[in-house]
Amino acid sequence: MRLSAQIAFRPRWSPQLSSRVCEPSNPASRALRGGTRPAASRAHEQTHGFLSFQARFRFRSAGHVRGRGETRINPLGDCSSSVLVLPRPPPRSSSLAMVVGKAWYSAVVSGLKKLRDIKDRGVDKFESLESLMSFSLGSAPNGVTISHLVCGNAGNSKSCTQYGVNVCAQCHLIKYCSEKCKLQHWSKHRVRCTHPFLSKSWQPSWISEGREPIFLYPSNSVTLYRPSFDFWGDLPAMDVLRLSNNETTDKFAALDDLKLCFAASSDIRDMIRTVNSLPYDYPGYCDILLNDTSSVLLNRTLIILFILLSSGPSLEEAAEFCTHLMYSAALPGAGAEYVNRCVNFIYGTGGEYEADLSFQRSLDTRGEGKLYCVQPSTGTKRISEMCHSTYSLATALKNMKEITLTSDRVDFREKYYAALQPSHRMGFHRFRETGILVPFSHNTSNFTEPNRLLFSSQGAWLLPEDSNPLWGWDVAGVKYSGIKHGVEPEDIIGCLFFHVKDQLREFAKRVRDLRIDIHVTSFDAGLLAKGISVGALPAFEDASFDRVVTGNLVDSLGMRTCLADWGPLLNRDNPSASILMQTKAWQLQGLPIHSGGAAQWGPHAMKLFIEKCNRVPGLEVKMKAVFDQGLRSPALLRIVESLDAFHDNETAFQEYLVEEDTDRSAAAFDLQLRTTHRVHPKRFGIPLDAPQWQKLPDLSSEEFYDLFTIGGATLPVRFLEFEACDGRQRHMYVE
């Protein structure tokens, strides 16, 4: 019997990357792997832009195997971590030949089965072949990726690798493959499973200690200033195109090239959701501009995008690792080393420092598009110091816990916990303890290095104490993603891990398959707008965007300044082009307190609320248990904090728009405020297609919990959309 197979893998090669040959020091190994490539052959491959990986295997019924091949590695990898490594074949003379040989053949057959998936599952050829290569960036203890929740019977030395199917009936946070594993693991799981946070009768410490919570009287507390960065965002990601409501309202209309500008944020969540909403067969070019004045935020984004989008690790491995880069305080050892190599490549070699003291970089992606960066050269110094620091993981986690678990903020932390379901409360507490975004039962013994993108060069935790990774995502979608991968909705952190990974993987796949260029810059938003208008960025020399997302710039610069900067840069040939704004501080800008902008709360408001409820016949009986605890009642706090969801602030918001002279400012630049939104609802909780008369959210209790309670959507925040109009609007406001 004879079986022959040939594997050929030719991933995309970038001329800017090194093309060195991986030469084993052992001459015999070098001969086995094909030796050093001839110079002519190397030049031929460089000319055609490929790295090659070839291996030929011949199997005979006698069990003897000869192999020959050649290996060329990804420039950011090494020979051991970036190639398909087969176990050494068993020697003929060994007494254990049959035992060892069986394991060896199993490994070979397993690799061939992966290749068979190309035909059986219709998986993309390059994607399937990439899966045979590993950089050991995965979350599992052996460095592989995880695609499904595994059995919770885990230990530091040995863990069960079967899928978890039977959920713990008490905590719903862990699954086991069998009753045997459940019994074996109970001694370790008992501490978590019987934790007070999982009790429905749990009460915050201010209740058990009989004291007033400190947040009722913030003037009595002292908060020391420390620099922090909003790495995770606090608003759910949105699709800024909404093509079905805009460019593709007519399903037969051709979709042109698109240019998107995120003028004041390098947060990639909106970009990811937007790109993931593009049609799979989108034929045009898409240029995306990400700008942020913070060099730390900007360069963190650049590193994550480079690792996610460049050739090397498979889509699966890159997406899983970038999930940890975004949200985990610790990384696998191999992952930390890989980040260091990437940082050295981005900033240490090939970076162009122009005469005007700017740093410019052009990086290849897996597809036709590129990743560009332009920023002041001084902006690269701090990120380089952060990534090349030497503090230990123990030091980093100690500094993190001094922020996330500080006793000075326990009342604020437990106020949030009190509103959560018991399992979610336990999950968030564990995340604050470990700092690692993985399913609740996952073995994290291989996370041995700090994620230096979340710490300063001295090891200080850079995020605010109330940062929450879930606040940046749609909770309903997060739960659905978890269920697909075998995670119960009660393990909300585990669900989030798989959701973010899926979103990043889909984003990287679309960047590979479509024609998308991403431009990352770090300039003042106003200066950037002026630079674009004079052609300073060649990719945007036509100074014409289909979407401009200004974030909350209106709160710091004012309405007229934002419109003056970005109004002239709107694509007038696209009737769906728009400027998108959001404002959190609109209630505080020039309006009297009694204007009704928000449902004001505090000790006085809470007492007034209790008095009014007591005047309603029958209601005082139902609310007696809540009111008996007075101002300390967690339930009363939740009610009062939720009043904004049921408060119609439309009149007050219109007063704010008049105060900002919005209509006149917009008309000055041939713009108008949309009365019917086509990208994002005017406020959270109201559907985009809601009738004009609907001013308040109409949500079920579960939807309210997902959006506001655990999802963290800010109740008073309002959204604005501006579109182009003809010049006649301007004359209406000429005095």
206 touches 411 (CB < 8 A): yes
- Average the pLDDT over 680-694 and give the result: 92
For 449-499, the DSSP string reads EE-TTSB-TT--B-S-TT--GGGGS-HHHHHHHHHHTT--TT-HHHHHHHH
Lowest mean pLDDT, pick from 49-63, 445-459, 697-711: 49-63
What's the confidence (pLDDT) of residue 106?
A: 61
- pLDDT above 60 for 68: no
What's the confidence (pLDDT) of residue 156?
A: 61
Q: Decide which of 75 and 15 is more confident.
A: 75
What's the confidence (pLDDT) of residue 164?
A: 94
What's the confidence (pLDDT) of residue 422?
A: 97
Element housing 579 (H / E):
strand 578-583
Lowest mean pLDDT, pick from 225-239, 521-535, 711-725: 225-239
423: tokens are 């399992």
E strands of 172-232, at which residues? 175-176
- pLDDT above 60 for 84: no
Determine phi and psi for 43, rounding to 5 degrees. Answer: -65, -40
- pLDDT above 50 for 10: no
What's the confidence (pLDDT) of residue 117?
A: 52
Q: How many CB atoms lie within 10 A of CB 224?
A: 5
- pLDDT above 60 for 128: no
- Average the pLDDT over 553-557 and give the result: 93
Q: Give 396's contacts (C-beta < 8 A, 6+ positions apart).
A: 329, 330, 450, 455, 459, 461
- pLDDT above 50 for 16: no
Determine phi and psi for 328, rounding to 5 degrees. Answer: -105, 140
What's the confidence (pLDDT) of residue 519?
A: 97
Strands 358-364 and 370-376: antiparallel
Q: Given 3-state DSSP classes, what are the helix, strand and coil percentages for the chain, each rounded to the nearest 5?
A: 40, 15, 45
Q: Across the strands, what pairs with 580? A: 549, 721
Q: Decide which of 50 and 215 is more confident.
A: 215
Q: What is the DSSP letter of 86?
A: P
- pLDDT above 60 for 26: no
Q: Decide which of 359 and 75 is more confident.
A: 359
- pLDDT above 60 for 596: no
- pLDDT above 50 for 146: yes
- Average the pLDDT over 331-355 and give the result: 83
Distance CA 393, CA 449 (A): 5
Confidence of residue 312 (pLDDT cuts 50, 70, 90): confident
Lowest mean pLDDT, pick from 205-219, 235-249, 341-355, 694-708: 341-355
122: tokens are 């219709």
Percent of the chain with pLDDT over 70: 73
- pLDDT above 80 for 173: yes
For 405-459, the DSSP string reads T-GGGHHHHHHHHHTS-HHHHHHHHHHHHH---S-TT---TTEEEE-TTSB-TT-
Confidence of residue 31 (pLDDT cuts 50, 70, 90): very low
- Domain boundaries defined on the chain: 2-130, 243-543, 586-658+682-714
Three-state DSSP at 335 gives helix
Confidence of residue 716 (pLDDT cuts 50, 70, 90): confident
- pLDDT above 60 for 525: yes
Confidence of residue 692 (pLDDT cuts 50, 70, 90): confident
- Average the pLDDT over 327-339 and give the result: 97
Among 395, 405, 383, 386, which residue's Cα sits nearest to residue 455?
A: 386
Strands 175-176 and 166-167: antiparallel
Counted residue by residue, the chain has a size of 735
Q: Decide which of 54 and 143 is more confident.
A: 143
Specify the residue for token string 């106020």.
Answer: 415
Biggest CA-to-CA distance, the chain: 101
Question: pLDDT by residue (tens digit) across 498-522?
Answer: 999 999 999 999 999 999 999 999 9
The single-letter code of the amino acid at 546 is D
Among 365, 363, 359, which residue's Cα sits nearest to residue 384?
A: 359
Q: Give 385's contacts (C-beta < 8 A, 6+ positions apart).
A: 457
Confidence of residue 276 (pLDDT cuts 50, 70, 90): very high
On average, the pLDDT of the chain sits at 81
Determine phi and psi for 354, rounding to 5 degrees. Answer: -80, 170
Question: pLDDT by residue (tens digit) across 618-675?
Answer: 666 667 666 677 778 888 888 878 878 888 889 999 999 999 999 999 999 999 999 9
Residue 466: Cβ-neighbour burial (10 angstroms; 0-12, 13-18, 19+): middle
Element housing 312 (H / E):
none
457: tokens are 């060069």
184 touches 153 (CB < 8 A): yes
What's the confidence (pLDDT) of residue 37?
A: 42
- pLDDT above 50 for 46: no
Confidence of residue 353 (pLDDT cuts 50, 70, 90): low
487 touches 439 (CB < 8 A): yes
Distance CA 125, CA 129 (A): 6
303 touches 295 (CB < 8 A): no
Distance CA 319, CA 145 (A): 10
For 219-253, the DSSP string reads GG----------SS-SS----S--GGGTTTSSTTS
For 510-572, the DSSP string reads HHHHSEEEEEEE-S-HHHHHHHHHTT-SGGGTT--BSEEEEETHHHHH-HHHHHHHHGGGB-T
